[in-house]
Amino acid sequence: MIHQLVYYSRNTVAGGDRAMLTNMREILSASQRNNSRDGITGFLIFDKTWFVQILEGERAKVTETYARIACDPRHSAATIINLRDVHGRLFPNWTMGGAMRTPEVQEVYLQHGFGGPLEPARLKSEQVINLALDLQAYEVSRRQGQKLAS
Ligand code: FAD
């Protein structure tokens, strides 16, 4: 069985878009390094206000990773939406994929009924997972398009 944890937190990264992107690169790079060591996969959705993340892996590793993440000063008030055992991974090839909410991906949000700001306290884990899977698919096709163009 795979353990799956979905949480949200308030983004406290200061500064404009550039600072945000620099911080996110650092977070994703540390995540990919640690998660590949620990067998953790998942997806991180974020905008200027919120983070919503899915972590999946062995139970002890997921708990340990979440405990480390929850203490990070770059966000606050981490709140678990759902914690459960599942039969397989949903993001097997992503040690941690991430998607910032930009106008480019707004269409994907609209398809999931998110026209306005995210209200994570009202989100169900299935909504988060379905949105993350479509953001992942969008990212995969964007990267394939870039490869074809080069
Ligand atoms: P290093 O990256 O070497 O960092 C050393 C210490 O400095 C850590 O305590 C780190 O928290 C702190 N630190 C580093 N850069 C900054 C900074 N710019 N501002 C403040 N403190 C800083 N980590 C994972 O392993 N997996 C994940 O999936 C994951 N997801 C995350 C999601 C979010 C929303 C956030 C905010 C962080 C996430 N992290 C994740 C990062 C995690 O919180 C730890 O920072 C990281 O795991 C520590 O990695 P490290 O032990 O290699 O330390």
- Of the two residues 87 and 19, the one the predictor is more confident about is 87
Q: Greater confidence, 150 or 144? A: 144
Using an 8 Å Cβ cutoff, are 11 and 66 in contact?
no
pLDDT tens-digit readout, 86-139: 999 999 998 888 888 889 999 999 999 999 889 999 999 999 999 999 999 999
- For range 58-67, the mean pLDDT: 98
In 1-150, alpha helices (H)? 17-38, 59-70, 106-111, 125-149
Q: Could you tell me if 47 and 13 are in contact, meaning their C-beta atoms sit under 8 angstroms apart?
A: no
What's the gap in Å between 30 CA and the centre of ligand 1? 6
Q: Which residues line ligand 1 (CB under 6 A)?
A: 23, 26-27, 30-31, 34-35, 44, 51, 53, 65, 68-69, 72-75, 96
CATH 3.60.21.10 fits 2-149, yes or no: no
Specify the pLDDT at position 150. Answer: 66
Cα 23 to ligand 1 centroid, rounded to whole Å: 10
The rounded distance, in Å, linking the Cα atoms of 140 and 130 is 15
* Ligand 1: centre distance to CA 24 (Å): 10
Across all residues in the chain, what is the average pLDDT? 92
Cα(28)–Cα(8) distance, integer angstroms: 16
* Residue 81 CA from chain centroid, whole number: 13
Pocket test for ligand 1, best of 6, 13, 69 (most atoms within 8 A of CB): 69
Q: What is the pLDDT of residue 94?
A: 87
Q: Which sequence spans correspond to the domains of the chain? A: 2-149
Instruction: Tell if the pTM clears 0.75, that is, is over it.
Output: yes
